[in-house]
Amino acid sequence: MSASASTGMRRSVVLKRRPAAEPTRADFDIREEAIPTPGPDEVVTRTLWLSIDPYMRGRLREEKSYAAPVAIGEVMTGETVGEVVASNHPGFAAGDIAVGARGWQTHCVTPGDRLVKIEKGAAPLSAYLGVLGMPGATAYAGVTEICKPKAGETFVVSAASGAVGSVAGQLAKRAGARVVGIAGGPDKCLWVQDSLGFDECVDHRSLDLRQELQAACPNGIDCYFENVGGAVQAAVFEQQNAFSRVAMCGMVAQYNEPKPPPGPNLGFVIGKRVLIQGFIVSDRMERFTEWRAMAAPLVADGSLVYREDVIDGLDNAPDALAGILSGRNFGKLLVRVAPEH
């Protein structure tokens, strides 16, 4: 990467073909071209960190979901933290750090209005892609607008060691709820309990998920922050209390399926007066900004705990995406595209 930078070349990961199941490196091409120069009001950044998130799998499908799919031959979308190397926008100067530049590439040219400048030194730069970025803001929006956990209630979150789940559970804990995480494997469960401070963590690979969940939630489930779908969803839905709330955030367990599998019967929704609300944080950009301001001091003083899983080198981004869909990563998944200095 640094070689490209010094030789004035930009390296991009572009979609070669749509993966049928788990994405692989062979579904992408690497393209090299000259580093662009900025047009009017544009900014060129050198990518330092690239965020890898489960939603990206949806962009590889032909069908439009809430955003247009990535076209064949197009650079793969993604949030980045980058250093400004050239700017024709009054808000940015060389050396500034900006988040929001999109794409799996070493350099990005983008209108300055689409970038947010961040204060150097307030928090580690990588945090702006996780706990202080889109995943953290997603957790904040889902917990405060949909789940609304109250003291004494039971709050369950799946993918609890992930970038969204880890923040969601900590926020529910701060609201006074009993917080139960669901995560894959003993290492993640241990971290969720010991480091994040959740009351319990259930391993979704356990032989009797239903029973373990029941033991962890003796008073039933009042809030569910849904990140995975599938068997976990079915087990949680069975144990929901009357007037419980479900923030539907993701269903990573099915993103590699060619066709969505059947879901749980919704009869319980009526009898138990359940609220299920799907949401996407990009509908609420004001919450994003609000969250960044609120959470940065909590990250700085260590009261909001997060964990990162860093993979080096842009070329490894496709493998990283495959890994996040199967839960191989542990913590917020990032690609270090270039060193910070």
Per the CB < 8 A criterion, the answer to whether 334 and 49 are in contact is: yes
C-alpha closest to that of 289 among 298, 280, 281, 300? 281
Q: Is 271 in the site for a copy of itself (CB under 8 A)?
A: yes
Q: Is 68 in the site for a copy of itself (CB under 8 A)?
A: no
Which tokens belong to 229? 């779908």
Select from 8, 40, 267, 302 the one that contacts a copy of itself (CB under 8 A). 267
Residue 18 or 273: which CB sits closer to a copy of itself? 273
Select from 31, 120, 273, 328 the one that contacts a copy of itself (CB under 8 A). 273
Handedness of CA 274, 134, 73, 28 (dihedral sign): negative
Query: Residue 264 Cβ, how far from a copy of itself at the closest point, in Å?
Result: 6
Residue 6 or 265: which CB sits closer to a copy of itself? 265
Select from 12, 110, 166, 233 the one that contacts a copy of itself (CB under 8 A). 233
DSSP category for residue 154: E
Helix (H, G, I), strand (E, B) or coil at 151: coil
Stretch that binds a copy of itself, among 23-31, 35-43, 245-253, 329-337 (CB under 8 A): 245-253
Q: Is 65 in the site for a copy of itself (CB under 8 A)?
A: yes
Residue 188 or 245: which CB sits closer to a copy of itself? 245
Query: Residue 219 Cβ, how far from a copy of itself at the closest point, in Å?
Result: 16
Q: Is 260 in the site for a copy of itself (CB under 8 A)?
A: yes
Q: Is 249 in the site for a copy of itself (CB under 8 A)?
A: yes
> Cβ neighbours of residue 37 under 8 Å, at least 6 residues apart?
44, 86, 109
Total residues at interface with a copy of itself (CB under 8 A): 33
Which tokens belong to 49? 């960190």
Q: Which residues pair with 105 in a beta bridge?
A: 12
Select from 270, 301, 339, 341 the one that contacts a copy of itself (CB under 8 A). 270
Q: d(Cα 253, Cα 148) in Å, to the nearest integer? A: 25
Q: Is 264 in the site for a copy of itself (CB under 8 A)?
A: yes
Select from 100, 184, 229, 327 the one that contacts a copy of itself (CB under 8 A). 229
Which of left, alpha, beta for 267 (phi over 0: left; psi -120 to 50: alpha)? alpha
Q: d(Cα 277, Cα 63) in Å, to the nearest integer? A: 22
Rg (CA), the chain: 20
Query: Residue 222 Cβ, how far from a copy of itself at the closest point, in Å?
Result: 15
Return the residue matching tokens 């990032």.
334
